[in-house]
C-alpha cells in the first residue's frame, strides 16, 4: 500500500501516453518524455534528462531481452555503434565535469540541444520515405569496411546527442541504420537499435546522476504507466497507417521543439 500511496498518478498517466506513442510508432520515448518532464512538470532539464535516460535503460533492457529471444538483434551492428557511442558519451560527460559549468549553463545547453534534436527527429520522421528512396541505393554499394566506419561515426553522433538531450537513439538511429543496412530486415534494425540504446542510456544516465539525483518515485510512476501503454499500443499499431502515425508524431515534436527554442 505504501508504494501505491507514493505513486504520482499524473506521472503514471504521462508515462502511459508516451508508452502508447512509442508502441504505436517505435520512437518518441526520449523525444517526448524529457520535454514532458521539463515543460509540464517543471523538472530541471539536467534532472529530466537523467530521469529519462535511466527510464530508457530499464524499458529497453526488457525490449532487448525479447528481441534477443527472437534472435532479431545483429550484434555486429550493436558493437559498431557502441564503439562510437560509448567513448563519445564518456567524453561528453567528462567535458561537462572538467569545464565545471554551473547548473544554469547546463540547463540552457540541454534546452537548446533538446530543441534542435527534436527538430532533427521530426525531420527524419517526415522525410524517411524520401531519404530511403534517395540514399539507400547509394549506401547499398558500399564496402563492409566503409559501412563499419559510417556506423561507428553514427554511434559517436548518437552518443553525444543522447548524453546531452536523451534524444536521438530512436528515430535518428533507426533511420541511419536503414540507410546503412538496406538489406537487413526492419525488425533486426529495430532490435539492434534497442540493444545498443541500453548501454548508452545507462552510461549517460549514471553520468548525469553523479552530478545530481533523480526522484525514484517519479521513475517508478513513469514505468507503471509506460509499460502497459507500450503493450496495449503494440496490438493496435499494425491496423493504423504508417504515414499518419509518423506525421502526427512529427507535428507533435515540432510544436514541442518550438516551445523549447523560443
Q: Is residue 120 part of a domain?
A: yes
Quote the pLDDT of residue 40: 84
Any domain includes 4? no
Q: Which domain holds residue 195?
A: 9-261
Q: At residue 1, does pLDDT exceed 50? A: no
Encode 215-234 in three state secondary structure. CHHHHHHHHHHHHHHHHHHH
Does 3 fall in a domain?
no
Q: What gap in Å lies between CA 36 and CA 33, rounded to an integer?
A: 5
Q: How many domains does the chain have?
A: 1
User: Is a pLDDT exceeding 70 seen at residue 240?
Assistant: no
At 117 the pLDDT is 86
Look at residue 1 and tell me if it is in a domain.
Answer: no
Q: How does pLDDT run across 7-55, given as a tens digit for each residue? A: 888 889 988 888 777 766 656 667 788 888 888 888 888 888 888 888 8
Query: What pLDDT is attached to residue 102?
Result: 64
Per the domain annotation, does 251 fall within a domain?
A: yes
54-107: pLDDT as tens digits: 888 887 887 788 888 888 899 999 999 999 999 999 999 998 888 776 667 777
Q: State the Cα–Cα distance between residues 163 and 63, nearest whole angstrom.
A: 21
In a domain? residue 41 = yes
CA distances from 21 to 12, 113, 123, 229 (A): 14, 22, 17, 8
pLDDT tens, position by position, 115-148: 888 888 888 888 878 877 777 667 767 888 999 9
Amino acid at each position: 500500500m505504501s508504494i501505491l500511496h507514493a505513486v504520482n498518478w499524473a506521472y503514471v498517466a504521462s508515462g502511459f501516453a508516451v508508452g502508447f506513442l512509442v508502441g504505436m510508432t517505435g520512437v518518441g520515448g526520449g523525444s517526448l518524455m524529457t520535454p514532458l518532464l521539463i515543460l509540464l512538470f517543471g523538472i530541471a532539464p539536467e534532472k529530466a534528462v537523467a530521469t529519462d535516460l535511466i527510464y530508457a535503460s530499464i524499458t529497453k533492457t526488457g525490449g532487448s531481452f525479447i528481441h534477443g529471444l527472437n534472435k532479431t538483434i545483429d550484434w555486429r551492428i550493436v558493437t559498431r555503434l557502441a564503439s562510437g557511442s560509448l567513448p563519445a558519451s564518456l567524453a561528453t560527460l567528462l567535458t561537462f565535469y572538467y569545464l565545471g559549468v554551473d547548473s544554469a549553463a547546463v540547463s540552457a545547453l540541454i534546452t537548446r540541444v533538446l530543441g534542435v534534436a527534436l527538430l532533427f527527429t521530426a525531420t527524419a520522421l517526415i522525410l524517411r520515405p524520401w531519404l530511403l528512396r534517395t540514399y539507400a541505393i547509394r549506401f547499398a554499394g558500399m564496402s563492409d569496411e566503409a559501412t563499419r566506419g559510417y556506423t561507428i561515426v553514427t554511434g559517436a553522433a548518437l552518443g553525444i546527442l543522447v548524453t546531452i538531450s536523451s534524444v536521438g537513439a530512436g528515430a535518428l538511429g533507426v533511420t541511419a541504420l536503414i540507410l546503412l543496412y538496406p538489406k537487413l530486415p526492419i525488425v533486426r534494425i529495430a532490435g539492434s537499435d534497442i540493444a545498443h540504446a541500453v548501454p548508452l542510456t545507462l552510461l549517460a544516465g549514471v553520468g548525469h546522476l553523479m552530478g545530481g539525483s533523480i526522484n525514484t518515485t517519479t521513475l517508478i510512476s513513469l514505468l507503471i504507466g509506460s509499460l502497459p501503454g507500450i503493450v496495449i499500443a503494440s496490438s493496435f499499431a499494425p491496423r493504423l497507417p504508417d504515414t499518419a502515425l509518423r506525421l502526427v508524431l512529427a507535428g507533435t515534436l515540432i510544436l514541442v521543439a518550438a516551445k523549447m527554442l523560443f
